[in-house]
Amino acid sequence: MYGDDFVVDLVKVFAVGVFAVLLASALTPSLTSFLFENKLWKKKNKAISIDGKEARYFNKFHSEKETKVPRIGGLLIWCSVSFLALLLFFLSNLFDFFWIEKFDFLSRDQTWLPLFTLISASLVGLSDDLLQIVRNPRNIFLRKIWRRAEDGLGEGLGLRYRIILVTVIGLIGAWWFYFRLGQESIYLPFLEEVSLGVFYIPFFIIVMVAIYSGGVIDGIDGLAGGVFISIFSAYTIISFLQGQLNLAAFCIAIVGSVLVFLWFNIPPARFYMGETGIIGLTTTVTVVAFLTGAVFVLPIIAFPLIITSLSVIIQLLSKKFRGKKVFLAAPLHHHLEAIGWPQHKITMRFWVVSALMGIVGVLIHLLL
């Protein structure tokens, strides 16, 4: 029914996913021991809302769980994917064997940029996580940033610093697409290719920052992990059907590593994803969307991120201009907690919605 090449390509993609699961599973015990031995969790349990005030409803449901649970569990995701990519690359160059060469998914036109984005953005997130963990850092520069962040939006780098750094990453990505890959247009249904010219660069940055803003979805055990599995699974299918096998392998490697993370993040969480996972994954999915030409369906596939971000924006605008809140708490999942939904119900329903929107996004991309 299918040709030999199709079967080989399918085996490559699924095998990389299995390798990612095995590798992440092997790394988890060491990572867990490291996190608990060094007590890499928040020492202060009071949460600050996005407008700088105490998050009353968040503290009501989460204050006791914010401590004693390590934060930087996202290390498992990007370290597994990065190590796997490098391992398969070196093995393919050391051994002259067809199957090993086939598994290598590092390529200049497909995976260099998303891998760079994953690593660099995750390191930015890691710095934020560490600043949330370390109280009164000794380094003068870090102490200055920490104090400013504490005065504004709580501990860590602070929202403005993170947005600036994500913008820088977006600028690098946009430069690569525009100058190195020669891309200056996006695909829109019924209009085919729409040339943006130099405006391709700010458009890329805006999309990346918008998707990153949905990272506030990481507020309930298991919630973000399940959503990102659906998102990257959708782009695995799209890139595979487009013949971008290396990109498909990269996406499924992320799926495999997030699956292992989710195994330990389901309530009660063994560790949290943290900004090192959130920034890495949100920026990387933006790059993947542009590489596949599936930017139009990104808001559909990443619908849970979009609706979560919108709930925060609506809340802030309403409080500023109307003087009252729309939601009891923002983002949306905390509002659902506030009205009495149990956490497992919120998580599972977000997973269902995410899976459905992923399927819808893939179908729309294929049909249009």
* Tens-place pLDDT, residues 61-85: 555 556 688 989 999 999 999 999 9
The answer, yes or no, to whether residue 57 has pLDDT greater than 80, is no
The answer, yes or no, to whether residue 315 has pLDDT greater than 60, is yes
Q: Name the more confident of 86 and 152.
A: 86
pLDDT of residue 118: 97
The answer, yes or no, to whether residue 201 has pLDDT greater than 60, is yes
pLDDT of residue 154: 46
- 187, burial (CB in 10 Å: exposed 0-12, middle 13-18, buried 19+): middle
Give the CA dihedral 273, 276, 281, 284, nearest 10 degrees.
-170
The answer, yes or no, to whether residue 53 has pLDDT greater than 90, is no
Distance of CA 294 to the CA centre of its chain: 17
pLDDT of residue 59: 57
- Round to whole Å and give the CA distance between 174 and 168: 10
The answer, yes or no, to whether residue 107 has pLDDT greater than 60, is yes
- Identify how many contiguous H helices and E strands the chain contains and give both numbers: 15, 2
The answer, yes or no, to whether residue 58 has pLDDT greater than 60, is no
Q: Name the more confident of 128 and 175.
A: 175
What one-character-per-residue DSSP string does 159-207 give? Answer: HHHHHHHHHHHHHHHHHIIIIIS---EEEETTTEEEE-GGGHHHHHHHH
pLDDT of residue 121: 96
Return the exposure string of 219-243: e unless at least 16 CB atoms fall within 10 Å of the residue's CB, then b.
Answer: bbbbbbbbbbbbbbbbbbbbbbebe
∠ at Cα 151 (150, 157), nearest 5°? 45
pLDDT of residue 44: 64
Digit-coded pLDDT (tens) for 236-284: 999 999 999 999 999 999 999 999 999 999 988 899 999 999 999 999 9
The answer, yes or no, to whether residue 55 has pLDDT greater than 90, is no
pLDDT of residue 193: 85
- Round to whole Å and give the CA distance between 336 and 171: 36
pLDDT-derived band at 152, boundaries 50, 70, 90: very low
Pairing of strands 192-195, 185-188: antiparallel
pTM reported for the whole predicted model:
0.91
